Amino acid sequence: MSEDIRCPLCGSKTTIPTTKKGQNIGGQFHVCTRYPECKGKVAVESQNGEFVQVADSSKQASAGIAIQASGLVKRYSEEVLAVDGVDLNIEANTVYALLGPNGAGKTTTILILTTLLQPTRGSASVVGFDVVHKASDVRRRIGVTFQEMILDVELTGRQVLDYHGRFYGMKKAHRKAKITELLALVELEEAANRRVSTYSGGMKRRLELARGLMTEPEVLFLDEPTLGLDPQNRANIWDYIRNLKEQRGLTLLLTTHYMDEAEHLADRVGIIDQGRIVVEGTPRELIDQMGSDSIRIAGQGDGEKFIEEVRSLSFVQTVQMGDDLIQIGIDTGNKRLPEVVSLANNCGFVIEDISVTKPSLSDVFLKYTGRQLRDK
């Protein structure tokens, strides 16, 4: 007797033996085909009628996909379809940004992946564990910071971390060591014994980041990690996030509606709109498909001669002459700027204004949705 079962890791159909009563025989291994590089370390086993992962999940994480979703749908009501068929395959030890405007479905996706909300349809797994059927396994391996800050402002920073550790059953010595380490990481040692009510917005965000790391997660979900922070504080948080990936081998899924955040932080970006991921890729890939940079020049003098000379430069792709603006399409603007300026000088063309414009993720969003990436 045998039965076809789908592997929760690679999705492929696998035939496993069953007893006469149709029950799976425990101990039957299926080596997941999705991760040939792990040479059989990632395997699933049939137990009590369902396939469960038996390999150390951190081994799986280092071998392949940390977050997987297919056909994820969340309908809150007849009218509100918040997530409309999201597929994700996020590699371990990478930063993935879900970039989209208000109401795009980012928080809803995070809530499903962190087991706090049930999907209407579709499935998802985190480090190999199904977010619905293996929710407690998922919870043990993740950290989350929410869009709305949830901090008890009457507590000190140290207490916030301590209570969180206690809640997760961490032993006292482990808790203490972890708190010391994390306060140093987010540079809150000096403020650790002050009440959170005296912290700035940036300090609160850093404390939340530390709290998310208390339980040594393999995957960290950050919902709008820099919302409402000034540029300097945002840059600081970016540094911590990069650090977490590089030094601790974490996988991070963050949501943002700041284009520059996604561009600076993410290995891959998924642009989400109206519950659907409209395009996905590395920030570079997405921007490159928008075409070249352009140098815009306004000035006085023999424009015709200047344009003729500019056209002969090998890196120039297009030249357009407007009423009072010359627009030069080139491969990479900043690198070519000095050559263009010195050519203008040689032609006796006096530059009054010059700028380089680069395509951005916002142009990518515009291309795929026909709308600007801004709050509704």
Ligand X SMILES: Nc1ncnc2c1ncn2[C@@H]1O[C@H](COP(=O)(O)OP(=O)(O)OP(=O)(O)O)[C@@H](O)[C@H]1O
- Point out which residues bind Mg ion (CB under 5 A): 106-107, 147
Listed residue (146, 161, 364, 140) closest to 266, CA to CA:
364
Let me know if 204 is exposed, middle or buried by CB neighbors in 10 A (0-12, 13-18, 19+).
buried
Listed residue (81, 36, 24, 45) closest to 63, CA to CA:
36
Smallest distance, ligand X to C-beta of residue 254, A: 12
Smallest distance, Mg ion to C-beta of residue 66, A: 21
Tokens linked to 228: 């409402």
> Residue 104 binds which entry of Mg ion, ligand X, none, with Cβ cut-offs from 5 to 8 Å by kind?
ligand X
- Name which of 171 and 374 has its Cβ closer to ligand X: 374
Residue pair 271/278 in contact (Cβ under 8 Å)? The answer is yes
* Window 243 to 272, contacts with ligand X (CB under 6 A): 257
- Name which of 147 and 159 has its Cβ closer to ligand X: 147
Tell me if 82 contacts ligand X by CB under 6 A: yes
Residues 147, 159, 180, 360: which binds ligand X (CB under 6 A)? 147
Tell me if 276 contacts ligand X by CB under 6 A: no
Contacts with ligand X: how many residues (CB under 6 A)? 13
Smallest distance, ligand X to C-beta of residue 295, A: 34
At 89, the amino acid letter reads N
- Name which of 90 and 192 has its Cβ closer to ligand X: 90
| Alpha-carbon span 32 to 134, nearest angstrom | 18
- Name which of 107 and 215 has its Cβ closer to ligand X: 107
Residues 1, 80, 150, 235: which binds ligand X (CB under 6 A)? 80
| Alpha-carbon span 216 to 214, nearest angstrom | 6
Tokens linked to 8: 């929760």
| Alpha-carbon span 373 to 51, nearest angstrom | 42
Which residues of this protein are in contact with ligand X, per CB under 6 A? 76, 80, 82, 100, 102-108, 147, 257
